[in-house]
Amino acid sequence: MDGLILINKPQRLTSHDVVQNVRKLLGIQRVGHFGTLDPLATGLMIVALGKATRFFPFYSKLDKVYLGQIRLGFSTNTYDADGSPSSVEKTDYPSEQLLLKTMEKFVGEIEQIPPVFSAKKFKGKPLYIFARKNREVKPKSVRIHIHQFQLEAYDPPFIKFCAACSSGTYIRSLAHDLGQALQCGAHLSRLERIAIGNFAIQSSCPLDTLENLVRENKIEDVLIPLESVLPEIPKITLTDEGVALAENGNLILAEHICSAFPGERDCLNGGSDRADITRMFTQDGKLVALGRAQTDRVGIHPFLVIDSRESEM
């Protein structure tokens, strides 16, 4: 079984728990996800099955959209409600006008320091290993882009917000840094991921729904097959000779192409680094490989080859 499934992760499960659940439900081992959610968070996860796990580089860098709630008044050591208070509680909350002005300062390209309780690596090890041992570390800041940080409702001490951001953004850090800027402390109290690229939460299914679909042999209702992966990338149909060449990683020339079709516009963001990539198909519609146009010679070179004749069951 190969393809993608959009899962609506419940609270308190880790992303690894979700993968393990899918492995058990489908009876396959080759399962992975394309973006971690903290146990506190809920919402959209892209789960890959079989050969689709090889497409991680294309999906892991997509922009994300979140709905959440920030609690003003004190910060925590984990930057969210699961942590212990790390500051004295304050009840002198900012005005809505000041809050809006401060939130605006975080929009755009900014430097962000990851939470010490996170899987971000420091000297080859996850930061949380050092944090759990009370060892002080200074993580390097990461350049991220906040496309939108919008106030949805303000009922002190709670802020409801919507944030659209680049991959690699920690919303926990955003909440913590907002509290520092407002000088009253803050932490993330609730979070839901509602979009990854052009994938929306409305298209996802809870784990219990997936279980029912497996029981009823209707997994195809939610499975995005390999042939539908990366629809924004142009596709070509190969001759039989072209298929044989592609399966062995050999150069594809014009005479090996039966037809060509453009990709879907604006299907997924982050497409600038994909301008020279093509999806290669057999004449009966099976995905064979992804190829990259050669700059020094005419032709397309397969760089991610998929043997469509085999599938993990």
Give the catalytic positions in this structure.
38
Strands 257-261 and 235-238 turn out to be antiparallel
Write out the H or E segment, with its range, that includes residue 261: strand 257-261
Between CA 55 and CA 303 the distance in angstroms is: 12
Tokens of 47: 């789960």
Between CA 93 and CA 84 the distance in angstroms is: 21
Between CA 103 and CA 106 the distance in angstroms is: 6
Burial 9-24 (b: 16+ CB within 10 A, else e): beeebebeebbebbbe
DSSP bridge partners of 260: 236
Q: Which of 225, 223, 232, 283 is nearest to 262 (CA)?
A: 232
Q: Which of 187, 145, 149 is nearest to 168 (CA)?
A: 145
